[in-house]
Amino acid sequence: MLVTLDLFSALVDSRTGGSAALARITGGPGERLYDLWDAANKASQRDLRTWVPFAEHSRRALAAAYAELGVARDPGADTARLLDSVGDWPLWPDVADGLPALAARARVGVLSNVDDAVFARTRVASLVDDIGVLTSERLRAYKPAPEIYLRARERAGGRLVHVATSARDVRGALAAGIEVVRLRRPGHRLDPEGGTPQVEAGDLFEVARLLA
């Protein structure tokens, strides 16, 4: 069994880290800008039919956010600074100890819509063996398309359980027929029309107990 976890909702508090980074980069409030960037980024990943790197989705999304807010800055340069900052984005409090606890029960990996270089900068990279890192760059698909989950299951070589937090990740994995444990995190709610996982957990230690 391979247990994969989402990177930027289940493991990393991306809104806190990304908002702080955008505030430093632009000198203004970061939360509104982050929310616009994040929404545009996810929409780009969902709608574009050909694969492009996560960094390019991110650049297009920041350009759209700047345009909406009337920000006169270079989205390319600022995207590079934003993605360079992911090593400063905080882990959720249970991750540093909870991920090794989970790894003692099962093979652990990450299933994420990022490029390898972005993942390598995060604080999660040192906690997961590279063989279990299933990025969009490696699988050539983006959530919530079924292809990324099905290709991840093929790479698993057996049973795959995906630990998801965001509504779109839960919805996409369930639609692809993947076993899901929904990990509750602040600021994330399920889509009532996107299916409800049979198993939920409050932290990674509970995930480990459920999979024992």
Angle at which helix 31-47 crosses helix 14-26, to 10 degrees, equals: 110
CA dihedral angle for residue 27, residue 113, residue 88, residue 23, rounded to 10 degrees: 10
- What is residue 192's predicted lDDT score, i.e. its pLDDT? 75
- What is residue 196's predicted lDDT score, i.e. its pLDDT? 83
Question: Each residue of 107-151: pLDDT tens digit?
Answer: 999 999 999 999 999 999 999 999 999 999 999 999 999 999 999
- pTM (predicted TM-score): 0.95
